[in-house]
Amino acid sequence: MQVPRANSEWATLSLRKTARVSAIKSKSGGQGCRGAAVRSVGSERCAAQPRQPRAKNVRAFPENPLASGRRPTNNAVTEYPQNEEALDARLDEALDETFPASDPVAVHAADAPALKSVLRCHPAHRDDIGNLVTRRPVPGPGLDRLGAFLFLNHHGPQIYAPGNEGLLFGPHPHRGFETVTFILQGVLAHRDTAGHESVISAGGVQWMTAGSGLIHEEISPESFKSDGGPLEILQLWVNLPARLKRTPPRYIGLQRDAIPAIRADAGRATVNLIAGTWHGKEGPIHSLTAVFMAIVELKAGGRVRFDGLAGRDVFLYVVRGELNIDGTAVHSFNLVELGEGAAIEFEATTRAVVLFGHASPIDEPVVSHGPFVMNSADEIRQAYADYRAGRFEVSA
């Protein structure tokens, strides 16, 4: 049960609390704390203000009858703070309890992680493969790679007529990195020399760790060749550190229903979480190098935020639509190079689809040639020699 205060003490607390709250509301325009108003008021409040001394002949509390030797005149239990510091502590506690979410004093801009902003955009350039529409933002003019992210092909979107030849990526080798293939529309078949085989439909993902080396093919199944239909595929290459470049090959094929679709921003944003964790959910793929990977779908006005990005290589490619990132408009078919910061927040100005990932930097030399990514030219030559010698043919 709360102990009642003496009337005059409560009046003093109430007057001082009212004065402080009125000052806060006048600074913040009478609104709840958000945005720039929060930072402005917070910085003013945090500045040291000299305390005005209290006049000696002004009594802040009623006389304590126990201290004067007189008995209280009623049976009420009365608290008597001993000094001004005790009153200030009680006042601060009362403010925290009364205004926990709207008091600007409780919000400090320094506690919020700095948001990343756009340094530059790298448009995807056209590089069609036969009749397959292909765009590539990296590698490209001005950007050889983006940290651990080496290469992105954006195939389509396009519609194949019935009786087509489909995709023609027949058997070819890889070593030293991982390929992550996102089937946005259509269907894709995979088969490799490590014994993996699958057919993945729209919304699914193929995550292949080439590691020590394997041969695989990515082709259209017979049903797609005969019936035709829409096709749009992204393939991203992710580097492996030297200690994992000879790891045994592995492959994971996921259909759409195996990928958590996490709703955010009142349903205006959906994070299809492939690898890593977000909002307490975990993606089904456990990357060897703790890579985070997601396809983000946004309605117009939808907003999403990702934290924990300090010191990470961040990959953000706008597949469709338009985004606003910290005041910068980013259009479709653009890879975004970001500045420093521990978080990113972006908002869709139209309906949008975004490929978003981040990874730990790999501070090692990168030497790539054709389908191989290693740390030295000698390792590249050895990869070609091993391929010609048939050493990639052995199943894991």
Q: Domain residue spans in the chain?
A: 12-27+63-106, 118-380
What integer pLDDT is reported at residue 266 of this predicted model?
Answer: 96
Which stretch of 40-54, 57-71, 194-208, 300-314 has the lowest confidence by average pLDDT? Answer: 40-54
Do the bridges between strand 229-239 and strand 177-185 make them parallel or antiparallel, or are there none, so unpaired? antiparallel
- Comparing C-alpha atoms, which of 378, 357, 382, 380 is closest to residue 369? 380
If you average pLDDT over residues 136-146, what whole number do you get?
95
pLDDT tens per residue across span 218-242? 999 999 999 999 999 999 999 999 9
What integer pLDDT is reported at residue 113 of this predicted model?
Answer: 80
Neighbouring C-alpha atoms within 13 Å toward the C-beta of 22: 6
What integer pLDDT is reported at residue 92 of this predicted model?
Answer: 56
DSSP string, 272-306: EEEESEETTEE-SB--TT--EEEEEEE-TT-EEEE
**300, 335 Cβ separation under 8 angstroms:** no
Report the alpha-carbon distance of residue 188 to residue 202 in Å, rounded: 9
Confidence grade of residue 101 (pLDDT, cut at 50, 70, 90):
very low
Confidence grade of residue 168 (pLDDT, cut at 50, 70, 90):
confident
- Higher pLDDT pick, 362 / 40: 362
Report the alpha-carbon distance of residue 154 to residue 127 in Å, rounded: 10
What integer pLDDT is reported at residue 393 of this predicted model?
Answer: 78
What integer pLDDT is reported at residue 88 of this predicted model?
Answer: 59
**Side chain identity at 271, as an amino acid letter?**
V
Answer whether residue 248 shows pLDDT above 60: yes
Which stretch of 75-84, 294-303, 347-356 has the lowest confidence by average pLDDT? Answer: 75-84
What integer pLDDT is reported at residue 155 of this predicted model?
Answer: 98
**Average pLDDT value over all residues in the chain:** 81
Answer whether residue 206 shows pLDDT above 80: yes
If you average pLDDT over residues 249-275, what whole number do you get?
97
Answer whether residue 120 shows pLDDT above 90: yes
Answer whether residue 285 shows pLDDT above 70: yes
Confidence grade of residue 37 (pLDDT, cut at 50, 70, 90):
very low
- Higher pLDDT pick, 223 / 53: 223
- Higher pLDDT pick, 339 / 12: 339
Q: What percent of the chain has pLDDT over 70?
A: 71
pLDDT tens per residue across span 326-367? 999 999 999 999 999 999 999 999 999 999 999 999 999 999
Report the alpha-carbon distance of residue 177 to residue 374 in Å, rounded: 8
Edge-to-edge strand list for the sheet holding 205-209: 125-126, 134-138, 149-160, 229-239, 177-185, 205-209, 250-254
Confidence grade of residue 1 (pLDDT, cut at 50, 70, 90):
very low
In DSSP terms, 271 is beta-bridged to 262, 296
Considering the four listed CATH numbers 3.10.580.10, 2.60.120.10, 3.30.70.100, 3.40.630.10, the one that applies to the domain covering 118-380 is 2.60.120.10
Residue carrying structure tokens 């299809």: 272
What integer pLDDT is reported at residue 394 of this predicted model?
Answer: 57
What integer pLDDT is reported at residue 360 of this predicted model?
Answer: 97
Edge-to-edge strand list for the sheet holding 118-123: 118-123, 334-338, 313-320, 352-359, 292-298, 269-275, 261-264
Answer yes or no: pTM beyond 0.85: no
Helix axes 84-98, 7-27, angle to 10 degrees: 60
